[in-house]
Amino acid sequence: MDELKPYLRMLKHYRGRLILGAVLMFVTSASGIGLLALSGWFITATAITGALIAAGVAATLEIYIPGGGIRTFAVSRTVARYFERIFNHDTVLQLLRDLRGRVFTQLSRLNPAEMARLRSGELLNRLTTDIDRLDGLYLRGLSPPVVALLAILLVGALLAIGAPWLGGLVIVVLTTMAGGALWMAWHTGQQLTRDLAASSAALRASAMDHVTGLSELTAFGSLEHHRQAVMQADDQARRRDERIAKRMAYGESILNSGIHLTAVLVLLIALHLFQTGQTSGPVAVMMPLAVLALLEPLGVLPAAGLQLARARASAQRLSNGVSNGVSNGTGTIDGLSTNNGSNGTGTKQTSDASSKTTVQPAGAHPRTEGLSHAPPVSINAVSLVRGAGARVLDNLHLDVSPAETIGIIGVSGCGKSSIAAMIAGQLKVDSGTVEIDGTSIETFDLDALYPDIAYLTQQTDLFSGSFAGNLRIANQHADESMMWAALQSVQLDEFVASTDQGLHTWVGESGMELSAGQARRLALARLFMRNPQLVILDEPLTGLDEQTAEAVSARLSDWLSARSAIVLGHGPESLPRVDRRLLLRAGALSEEN
């Protein structure tokens, strides 16, 4: 249950509301029990009184108090249920708001490499299903057992009117039965829920792959084949869902049978008590009816056990991976793309992402102050093995002097992006050191470091928003003149000005309404919105035509001259003006002239 502790702590903030909500639930259940029990008593009492009068025996019955009681219970049941629903759902919505905020904050603080490891379907699952399950923790998981226990105690007290020992016995029997049902559902729910969550995540992932890869699948004639895979995933998820539903149905029917059986036993005992004159007829009829009224509050217990199991599994999934990002104190580079696991088409696998993220050594005091002006960078004897075990960097050395611009070129796959990710603190090296401004990257508080770094990855990440919105990601306080200047630097100003809404034109989902070159230029424009001391550019001019590349390159060169910079590219033509150019080959750097 440890996984649930943070969420239980969250519930504490709503203690007052939760107690009131549970009281309303109990009032609803208690009214139901009172209604059934009192009605049974009243009907029997009036029947006996009528029979006595018909037989010529003088008998009277006070009808106003029980009649009023029945009406009161009927009204209180409806009113309490109404307010319980409104009040508790309002509480749940407030909890949902907090939960979403909390989970989103945690995800946004994930180490980018960790984030890249999570498939989009898994992320979607976390942000939707898992949160939904946790928001039901109180309403459908925790409060039903409490209300059920109180209802059993109430029924026990009613039975005690007829025979105190019977009240005690029924409390013990029903509590054991209810506890057993809850435990069984919780126990079997653990595995079933885990399986179902895995199937649902797989289904979402394959459905999303199907939609996003529709053009490729159609072009390669693999649509039907892939559709079959989605259908299979759907089938598996549905079968697992059915299994859970069946188990719950079994649980509910066993519990209901138990309650009915108890009611029959109580009826038999009550008749015996009546026969032996130990209780009156109306009370004898009231006793089994009170037990039957428990069907409602106890019937939800198997679902509550399952809900608890689901909430636990969701809490587990939400804390998996999230904890690393949070405890490392890592963050994202403000305003720039942070996904180092892509090759520009968003399809590169991230098989080594989990093990190669920057982690602060235990006990080290993180550096919390930012970078000095145009800081030096020093890479010493760095070796790095990635993916399936290929040695990407081998005893690599690199010294970047203050305000120097270094260009690194090399063939595809030689490790350029790995160097960039390493300097940005998003990839942990196997041996050697990476120091920025005299401090090891491992001891930096990345939240303090990132405002002074600009890291343009190979992949162009744009957000579903306007030009202005995408630029403001880099600098929230930027005014329009600053944005136009940045757009002019990348020769995008004329295009933006020609659109209907200028800066406020929507760029489409992930910038889909822009060409690849325009999207790249917008990402480059973000650079000019900030004033970083260290700049890492991974193939900045990719996708730009020769003329635009030349103009942007000239502007970039001026801008870089006041900062320390590492620029990566396939060949000399893909770099702006640099102070030194190095060639990366076989994991090591050599001077290139």
Ligand X SMILES: Nc1ncnc2c1ncn2[C@@H]1O[C@H](COP(=O)(O)OP(=O)(O)OP(=O)(O)O)[C@@H](O)[C@H]1O
Q: Where are the alpha helices (DSSP H) in 163-222?
A: 164-212, 214-219
Does residue 154 contact residue 32 with C-beta atoms inside 8 Å? no
Shortest Cβ distance from residue 539 to ligand X (Å)?
7
- Report d(CA 294, CA 187) in Å as an integer: 23
- Residue nearest ligand X, CB atom distance: 387
Residue 81 sits at the vertex; the CA angle it makes with 296 and 78, to the nearest 5 degrees, is: 95
Three-class SS of residue 561? coil
* Residue 314 or 339 with smaller CB distance to ligand X: 339
The helix/strand/coil state of 430 is coil
332 bridge partner residues? none
What is the spatial distance between Cα 247 and Cα 105, in angstroms, rounded to a whole number?
36
Shortest spacing between CB 112 and ligand X, in angstroms: 11
Per CB under 6 A, residues contacting ligand X are 341, 343, 348-353, 386-387, 390, 392, 410, 412-418, 458
Q: How far is CA 320 from the centre of its chain?
A: 10
- CB 344 → ligand X: shortest distance, Å? 8
The nearer residue to ligand X, 199 or 350, going by C-beta atoms, is: 350
Q: How far is the CB of 538 from ligand X (least distance, A)?
A: 7
Q: Closer to ligand X at the Cβ: 480 or 573?
A: 573
Secondary structure of residue 525 in the 3-state scheme:
helix
CA atoms within 13 A on the CB side of 99: 31
Beta carbons of 444 and 451 less than 8 angstroms apart: no
CB of 304 to ligand X, least distance (A): 43
Q: How far apart are CB 118 and ligand X at their closest, in Å?
A: 13
Whether 398 and 436 have beta carbons less than 8 Å apart is answered as: no
Residues 6+ apart with CB under 8 A from 54: none
Supply the minimum distance, in Å, between the C-beta of residue 348 and ligand X.
Answer: 6
Q: What is the DSSP string of 357-422?
A: S--PPTT---B-S---SS--EEEEEEEEEETTTEEEEEEEEEEE-TT-EEEEE--TTSSHHHHHHH
Work out how close the CB of 343 gets to ligand X at its nearest, in angstroms, rounded to a whole number.
6
Closest CB 427 distance from ligand X, rounded Å: 9
| Cα–Cα distance, 252 to 255 (Å, whole number) | 5
Q: Edge-to-edge, what's the strand order for the sheet holding 534-538?
A: 453-456, 534-538, 564-569, 405-409, 580-585, 588-591
Which residues partner with 455 through β-bridges?
536
Q: Which is nearer to ligand X, 353 or 471 (CB)?
A: 353
Nearest CB to ligand X, comparing residues 387 and 508: 387
Residue placing its CB nearer to ligand X in the complex, 315 or 409: 409
User: 32 is written with which tokens?
Assistant: 């139901």
Tokens at residue 55, please?
A: 């037989």
Nearer to ligand X, 114 or 445 (CB): 114
Of the candidates 426, 441, 434, 423, the one whose C-alpha atom is nearest the C-alpha of residue 364 is 441
Residue 383: phi, psi to the nearest 5? Answer: -120, 145
Tokens of residue 401, six digits: 């002097």
Minimum CB separation of residue 114 from ligand X in Å reads 12
Q: Which is nearer to ligand X, 191 or 343 (CB)?
A: 343
Rounded least distance, CB 454 to ligand X, Å: 18
CB of 567 to ligand X, least distance (A): 13
When the beta carbons of 163 and 419 are compared against ligand X, the nearer one is 419
Q: Which is nearer to ligand X, 189 or 569 (CB)?
A: 569
**One-letter amino acid identity for 326?**
V
Of 40, 48, 112, 49, nearest in space to 69 by CA: 40
Q: With both helix axes pointing from N to C terminus, report the angle between 281-292 and 143-162 in degrees, rounded to the nearest 10.
A: 170
Q: Which helix (H) or strand (E) holds 306?
A: helix 301-319
Distance (Å, rounded) from C-alpha 34 to C-alpha 593?
93
**Distance of closest approach, residue 177 Cβ to ligand X, in angstroms:** 54
Q: Cα angle at 316 between 310 and 322, to 5 degrees?
A: 140
Q: Please identify, using beta-carbon distances, which residue of 128 and 349 lies nearer to ligand X.
A: 349
Residue 324 beta carbon to ligand X: minimum distance, rounded to whole angstroms: 17
Closer to ligand X at the Cβ: 281 or 543? 543
Element counts in the chain: helices (H) and strands (E): 21, 10
Measured from the CB atom, is 32 or 410 closer to ligand X? 410
CB of 428 to ligand X, least distance (A): 13
Could you give phi then psi for residue 566, rounded to 5 degrees? -125, 120
CB atoms within 10 A of CB 25: 25
Give the residue with the Cβ less far from ligand X, 188 or 330. 330
Choose between 387 and 572: whose C-beta lies nearer to ligand X: 387
